[in-house]
């Protein structure tokens, strides 16, 4: 459940619907589903298995399966690269999570009758963004400095059903509004011509890896916390299913809600049909929906954004755990000192992004999620496929799943991550460069 908590986050409710809306709707959905199950799930299995075998941070776990000095150096590059990637992701993630928290507080200000506060909370400004980004990072640091074991699982367990219930209730409401059916069609009826568009494929691949927290060493670390009694094969499958399902359901709410908002006069698309403000789409569309509900909308808005903030937190703690677990194990630093130190560095990067929002925000997202994550995830597949001895790999997976040697999974997965995943991920990149 903690791994699912890491996977389910802003990637599902902010990233996925925004990407779907700006990449042609249903065509993106199909590419995403195929890539999530066919490339991201096998890569997730590779990372979880490396971690459970290594019982340590990403660099040490990858080193443990390396056999030569060159491979050990490669292990450092991949593990440390993932840690940097996780830190950079956290620096933009905290900004978006800050928007979620301010959207949670805004209905309270409105209920209290403070117009100035509610306007400040709902409009983009440097002061608001700085305060809420810092607040979110402090929350993450406070949790991680106490050690991850405590509480994450409990939160994640309660979070998923609560999140799904509110999403379903909102979907029923949205479907009754004018414009929703146009949105539903855009989400579910694909234009097959654009499915193989290289740009769309790179975005869908990046989104799938982002949503499953891959290529950041996070799933290696979480793998190291999984007991040897657990069945890794089904555990990985559950995490993927929960994550993809929540993203799909979020799309079912947000894409129709865009069209409902448009029917109510909110400007969503430009004259040429492009999205006007991608990053803040969710923060325009959903409040417009809640406003239409009257006073009850204030409570619904509060509940929705509060749940989103918790979902963001169960993901951000996994990101911060990546550099912290490395620093604690490698430099024998105290957990509290390491967490605060790294937290300050990440906050400084976040502030730099906020101060240069136009040029840095999109750039950091593209660098980490479109390129960093799939490429580092691919390297983990290479590790398991080409470097790790087959018998040792099988012995690891057998623990908690003794029948795996004769299963379909074991017949397909080892050669799949050896050949298919690297070639497919490579092809997506080559086609996007050539395209």
Task: Rule CB under 6 A: say whether 250 interacts with ligand PHE.
Answer: no
Task: Rule CB under 6 A: say whether 10 interacts with ligand PHE.
Answer: yes
- Mind giving me the DSSP string for 270-323? -TTS-BS-STTHHHHHHHHHHHTTTHHHHHHHHHHHHHHHHHHHHHHHHHHHHH
305-324: contacts with ligand PHE (CB under 6 A): 315, 318-319
Among 102, 122, 129, 216, binds ligand PHE (CB under 6 A): 216
Q: Taking the complex as a whole, how short is the minimal distance between the CB of residue 318 and ligand PHE, in angstroms? A: 5
Among 18, 60, 91, 211, binds ligand PHE (CB under 6 A): 211
Q: In the numeric block, which tokens belong to residue 385? A: 């496929």
Task: Rule CB under 6 A: say whether 5 interacts with ligand PHE.
Answer: no
Q: Taking the complex as a whole, how short is the minimal distance between the CB of residue 45 and ligand PHE, in angstroms? A: 16
- Distance, CA of 86 to CA of 377 (rounded, Å): 12
| Spatial contact of 360 and 378, defined as CB atoms under 8 Å apart | no
Of the pair 11, 98, the CB lying nearest ligand PHE is at: 11
Of the pair 196, 345, the CB lying nearest ligand PHE is at: 345
Of the pair 44, 285, the CB lying nearest ligand PHE is at: 44
| Spatial contact of 377 and 47, defined as CB atoms under 8 Å apart | yes
Of the pair 283, 409, the CB lying nearest ligand PHE is at: 283
Closest CA to 61 of 297, 193, 226: 226
Q: In the numeric block, which tokens belong to residue 166? A: 């509110």
Among 57, 213, 240, 284, binds ligand PHE (CB under 6 A): 213
Scan for tokens 């589903």, then name that residue. 33
Tell me if residue 275 falls in helix, strand or coil: strand
Tell me if residue 269 falls in helix, strand or coil: strand
With CB under 6 A as the contact rule, which of the stretches 128-136, 143-151, 213-221, 389-397 interacts with ligand PHE?
213-221
| Spatial contact of 281 and 18, defined as CB atoms under 8 Å apart | yes
With CB under 6 A as the contact rule, which of the stretches 1-9, 286-294, 296-304, 326-334 interacts with ligand PHE?
1-9
Of the pair 223, 414, the CB lying nearest ligand PHE is at: 223
**Helices vs. strands in the chain: H and E counts, helices first:** 22, 0
Helix axis angle, 408-415 to 390-398, nearest 10°: 140
Task: Rule CB under 6 A: say whether 163 interacts with ligand PHE.
Answer: no
Cα-Cα-Cα-Cα dihedral sign, residues 287, 289, 294, 299: negative
Task: Rule CB under 6 A: say whether 12 interacts with ligand PHE.
Answer: yes
Among 44, 65, 89, 327, binds ligand PHE (CB under 6 A): 89
Q: In the numeric block, which tokens belong to residue 88? A: 């950079």
Beta strands in 247-299 (DSSP E): none
- Distance, CA of 131 to CA of 133 (rounded, Å): 6
- Mind giving me the DSSP string for 57-105? -HHHHHHHT--SHHHHHHHHHHHHHHHHHHHHHHHHHHHHHHHHHHHHH
Q: In the numeric block, which tokens belong to residue 29? A: 């959905």
With CB under 6 A as the contact rule, which of the stretches 8-16, 30-38, 377-385, 386-394 interacts with ligand PHE?
8-16
Of the pair 118, 140, the CB lying nearest ligand PHE is at: 140
Number of chain residues interacting with ligand PHE (CB under 6 A): 16
Closest CA to 309 of 62, 47, 8: 8
With CB under 6 A as the contact rule, which of the stretches 9-17, 99-107, 181-189, 347-355 interacts with ligand PHE?
9-17
Task: Rule CB under 6 A: say whether 218 interacts with ligand PHE.
Answer: yes
Task: Rule CB under 6 A: say whether 9 interacts with ligand PHE.
Answer: yes
- Taking CB atoms, the residue at the shortest distance from ligand PHE is 11
Q: Taking the complex as a whole, how short is the minimal distance between the CB of residue 219 and ligand PHE, in angstroms? A: 8
Of the pair 7, 101, the CB lying nearest ligand PHE is at: 7
| Spatial contact of 319 and 90, defined as CB atoms under 8 Å apart | yes
Of the pair 144, 260, the CB lying nearest ligand PHE is at: 144
| Spatial contact of 129 and 356, defined as CB atoms under 8 Å apart | no
Among 31, 86, 95, 163, binds ligand PHE (CB under 6 A): 86
CA 270 distance to own-chain centroid: 28
Closest CA to 241 of 40, 16, 86, 408: 40
Of the pair 7, 48, the CB lying nearest ligand PHE is at: 7
With CB under 6 A as the contact rule, which of the stretches 210-218, 263-271, 374-382, 417-425 interacts with ligand PHE?
210-218
Spatial neighbors of 297 by CB under 8 A, at least 6 apart, are 107, 289, 290, 291
Q: How far is CA 107 from CA 9, 93, 113, 139, 283, in A?
A: 22, 23, 10, 21, 13
Of the pair 210, 383, the CB lying nearest ligand PHE is at: 210
Q: Taking the complex as a whole, how short is the minimal distance between the CB of residue 51 and ligand PHE, in angstroms? A: 13
Q: Taking the complex as a whole, how short is the minimal distance between the CB of residue 166 and ligand PHE, in angstroms? A: 17
Q: Which residues bind ligand PHE (CB under 6 A)?
A: 6-7, 9-12, 86, 89, 210-211, 213, 216, 218, 315, 318-319
């Amino acid at each position: 459940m903690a791994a699912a908590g890491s996977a389910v986050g802003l990637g599902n409710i902010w990233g996925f619907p925004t990407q779907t809306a700006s990449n042609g709707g249903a065509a993106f959905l199909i590419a995403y589903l195929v890539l999530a199950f066919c490339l991201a799930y096998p890569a997730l299995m590779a990372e979880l298995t490396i971690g459970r075998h290594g019982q340590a941070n990403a660099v040490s776990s990858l080193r443990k399966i390396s056999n030569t000095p060159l491979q050990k150096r490669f292990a450092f590059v991949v593990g440390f690269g993932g840690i940097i990637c996780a830190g950079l992701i956290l620096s933009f993630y905290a900004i978006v999570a800050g928007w979620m928290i301010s959207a949670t507080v805004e209905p309270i200000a409105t209920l209290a009758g403070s117009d100035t506060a509610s306007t400040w909370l709902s409009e983009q400004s440097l002061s608001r963004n700085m305060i809420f980004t810092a607040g979110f990072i402090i929350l993450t640091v406070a949790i991680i400095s106490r050690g991850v074991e405590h509480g994450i699982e409990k939160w994640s367990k309660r979070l998923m059903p609560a999140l799904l219930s509110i999403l379903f209730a909102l979907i029923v409401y949205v479907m009754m509004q004018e414009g929703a059916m146009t949105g539903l069609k855009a989400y579910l009826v694909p234009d097959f011509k654009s499915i193989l568009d290289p740009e769309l494929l790179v975005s869908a691949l990046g989104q799938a890896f982002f949503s499953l927290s891959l290529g950041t060493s996070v799933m290696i670390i979480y793998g190291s916390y999984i007991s040897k009694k657990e069945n890794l094969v089904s555990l990985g499958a559950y995490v993927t299913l929960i994550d993809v399902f929540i993203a799909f359901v979020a799309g079912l709410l947000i894409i129709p809600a865009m069209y409902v908002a448009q029917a109510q006069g909110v400007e969503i698309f430009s004259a040429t049909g492009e999205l006007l403000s991608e990053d803040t789409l969710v923060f325009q569309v959903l409040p417009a929906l809640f406003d239409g509900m009257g006073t009850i909308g204030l409570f619904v808005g509060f509940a929705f954004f509060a749940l989103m903030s918790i979902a963001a937190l169960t993901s951000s703690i996994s990101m911060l755990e990546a550099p912290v677990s490395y620093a604690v194990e490698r430099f024998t630093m105290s957990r509290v000192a390491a967490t605060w130190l790294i937290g300050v560095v990440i906050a400084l990067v976040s502030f730099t992004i906020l101060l240069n929002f136009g040029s840095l925000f999109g750039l950091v997202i593209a660098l980490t999620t479109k390129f960093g994550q799939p490429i580092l995830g691919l390297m983990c597949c290479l590790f398991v496929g080409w470097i790790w001895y087959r018998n040792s790999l099988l012995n690891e997976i057998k623990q908690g799943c003794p029948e795996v040697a004769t299963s379909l999974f074991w017949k397909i997965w080892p050669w799949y991550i050896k050949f298919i995943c690297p070639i497919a991920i490579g092809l997506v990149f080559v086609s996007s460069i050539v395209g």
